[in-house]
Structure 1
Amino acid sequence: MAEGVTLLDSVEHRDLRIRPATGPLPYFVPVVASEFAAAAAACPVLLTKDAETGRFYVGAMLGFQPGESLVELRAGEGFWPLHVERQGFFIAGDSIAIDPKDSRFGGEAGEPLFGDDGAPAPALRGIQQTLAQLHRGVDETQAFVDALLAHKLLEPIDVTLRFDDGTSLDLTGLYTVSLDSLHALDDGAVLALFRAGHLQLAYALAGSLRQIAVLAARRNRRLAA
């Protein structure tokens, strides 16, 4: 386990309480397949390469640069990233680990993680569900990415955005699904993608590109204000 992370224990942490996830949201947050539809309705969903491994992963773009959030997100309303909801919690084999120094923990505020009998309280059961979704989603999402690569359906997108205050931003290192390549596949390949649940995911990603213009307009309005 990472330094400072410890296994969650119903005795040692019986009085621990959890507050809602705090702090600014990441401008590009990893998402898994089960999140694609909700994320695509709120923001661009794109692929990029992990700087350390070089492998593709899928993320929801909440802003165009670090420290910027152009999407109003609230827990329990529409798209709320699992990656944010799990803040402070980690999967450790068959157990759950926590970072006790995370801002979500400590003090009297927040909801208890355990009941008086030591059983998981509703807040912890919610975290358990979130971690289970993420655990399942990693393999599902990797299978989707592998299918895109196998059928050569990924294409890079380079976008230059210009704003009314004279500034511009270049979006590089991003990829999406090529609808031209998708529509050129033979029927057998399309059927295989459909049966695997990958076809609807591909269209969700491709359709989310329209959200780039929405976020750009929102950013322009903020600059003007």
Structure 2
Amino acid sequence: MADLEQLNANDHAGLRLGDLPGRRPHFVQIVASEFAAAAAVCPIFLTKNADTGQFYAGAMFGFEPGENLLDATEGGARLFQPLDLERQGFFIGPEGEVLVDPAHPRFSSGRGAALFEGDGQPTQAARRVQQALGRLQAGVAETDAFIQSLLASKLVEPIDIDLSFDDGRSLSLGGLYTVSLDSLGELEDAAALALFRAGQLQLAYAMAGSLKQLSRLAALRNDRLAA
């Protein structure tokens, strides 16, 4: 377990918030408030936590570990930066305080944005991290409630993905789940209205609609192979 310290200007004025080393993960947990932005660029799936067996939502950036197909698009601009990556190296403590792991790799280069101004006030970079932590903390409960509503209404279905690429390789992806639009269309009016009132119907359609990004990711992979 990392040695976490409460973030403060005295002890952490010298920390520099560098980029995350290496490629971003190919699948990253996201929360409900991120669905709209994520669905515009990549597929969103449910999968199960290997340790707890509980469902969580994630955004897919590539088809296998170490592959991130969005990093090089549009001149390298990050089209969608998940909160869970934005806050890497930082945590929320039991009293709501911000904790930092000074040994985290994103601080190792000694380059990047400072966390504190000369007068000890947090910089814009530090405030971004604080906002990401706050949105994550609020979003986990909201997302869990959404997933439980889907399960209660029997709207979750497994999806098998089989892909073939220009280099002759084939990939089969398992352990992924999505929203069943057929079951959604068969919901009784009261159940559908309850999902709508809770803001969950929009999330369900965002998740289902994001599946069209699978073909976009596959095209980006073929483009990379051709290059």
Root-mean-square deviation (Å):
1.8
| Distance in 2 between residues matched to 1:186 and 1:100, nearest whole Å | 52
Q: Show CA shifts across 1:181-223 (max 9, x none).
A: 0010011001100010000000000001111111112212222
Mapping of residues 118-133 of structure 1, within 5 Å: 118-133=120-135
Tell me whether 1:65 sits opposite 2:67 in the alignment. no
Tell me whether 1:11 sits opposite 2:10 in the alignment. yes
Q: Which has the higher helix share?
A: 2
Q: Show CA shifts across 1:129-148 (max 9, x none).
A: 11001011101100100100
Mapping of residues 87-98 of structure 1, within 5 Å: 87-93=88-94, 94-98=96-100
Does the 8 Å CA contact 2:18/2:106 hold for their aligned counterparts? yes
| Distance in 2 between residues matched to 1:189 and 1:46, nearest whole Å | 22
The equivalent residue for 1:105 is 107
Name whichever of 166-175 and 78-87 sits farther off: 78-87
Name whichever of 171-180 and 93-102 sits farther off: 93-102
Does the 8 Å CA contact 2:15/2:102 hold for their aligned counterparts? no
| Distance in 1 between residues matched to 2:224 and 2:18, nearest whole Å | 30
Q: How has the CA–CA distance of structure 1 residues 16 and 46 changed in structure 2, closer, same or farther, with 3 Å as cutoff? A: same
| Distance in 2 between residues matched to 1:129 and 1:9, nearest whole Å | 16
Does the 8 Å CA contact 2:70/2:78 hold for their aligned counterparts? no
Does the 8 Å CA contact 1:18/1:106 hold for their aligned counterparts? no
Query: Offset of 1:112 from its aligned partner?
Result: 1.9
The equivalent residue for 2:181 is 179
The equivalent residue for 2:208 is 206
Does the 8 Å CA contact 2:42/2:59 hold for their aligned counterparts? yes
Aligned residues: 224
| Distance in 2 between residues matched to 1:76 and 1:63, nearest whole Å | 16
Structure 1 residue matching 2:176: 3-state secondary structure: strand
Tell me whether 1:55 sits opposite 2:54 in the alignment. yes
Counterpart among 162, 169, 172 of residue 171 in structure 2: 169
**Unaligned runs of at least 5 residues, structure 1:** none
| Distance in 2 between residues matched to 1:79 and 1:164, nearest whole Å | 27
| Distance in 2 between residues matched to 1:172 and 1:21, nearest whole Å | 28
Q: Show CA shifts across 1:127-184 (max 9, x none).
A: 1111001011101100100100010000000011112222100010000000000010
Task: Give the aligned residue type for 2:39.
Answer: A
Q: How has the CA–CA distance of structure 1 residues 106 and 164 changed in structure 2, closer, same or farther, with 3 Å as cutoff? A: closer
> Normalising by structure 1, what TM-score?
0.93
Q: How has the CA–CA distance of structure 1 residues 76 and 96 changed in structure 2, closer, same or farther, with 3 Å as cutoff? A: farther
**Unaligned runs of at least 5 residues, structure 2:** none
Query: Offset of 1:106 from its aligned partner?
Result: 5.2
> Normalising by structure 2, what TM-score?
0.92
The equivalent residue for 1:192 is 194
| Distance in 1 between residues matched to 2:210 and 2:173, nearest whole Å | 15
The equivalent residue for 1:82 is 83
The equivalent residue for 2:159 is 157
Query: Offset of 1:77 from its aligned partner?
Result: 5.3
